[in-house]
Amino acid sequence: MIYGILGVEWSLVMKKLTHDEKLDYLVGELCDEFVQKKSMRIEKADRRTLIRALMNIRMPRTMSEDFLQVQDEFLREEAEEKGIVRLEDIPTISEQYGLENAYSDKISI
């Protein structure tokens, strides 16, 4: 277990982070893995794009339990905020464009 300021267990501190603080933590941890990105200045507006890029290019390796916990909470909050698109919510090409062929009621764009 990692201990932070004044010996407080780090996982207890992590549970109290805001959504933006979780994003900052995740970006910082992922940036630490990429040497060429360590000196990069990260604008607040670019953090979501950066975290997606870093998660996509990162090779599979072991991560700390704290990182995985914060990542799980962060992604769960993102899904709750944005919602999850269900298949029946996506219009078919028949519904969207009025096209009629053998599969137009099964294809969505």
In DSSP notation, 6-60 reads GG-BHHHHHTT--HHHHHHHHHHHHHHH-GGGTT----GGGHHHHHHHHHHHPPP
Q: How confident is the model at residue 77, as a pLDDT?
A: 93
**Rounded Cα–Cα distance for residues 28 and 70 (Å):** 12
Which stretches of the chain score pLDDT less than 50?
Answer: 1-8, 12
Q: How confident is the model at residue 8, as a pLDDT?
A: 43
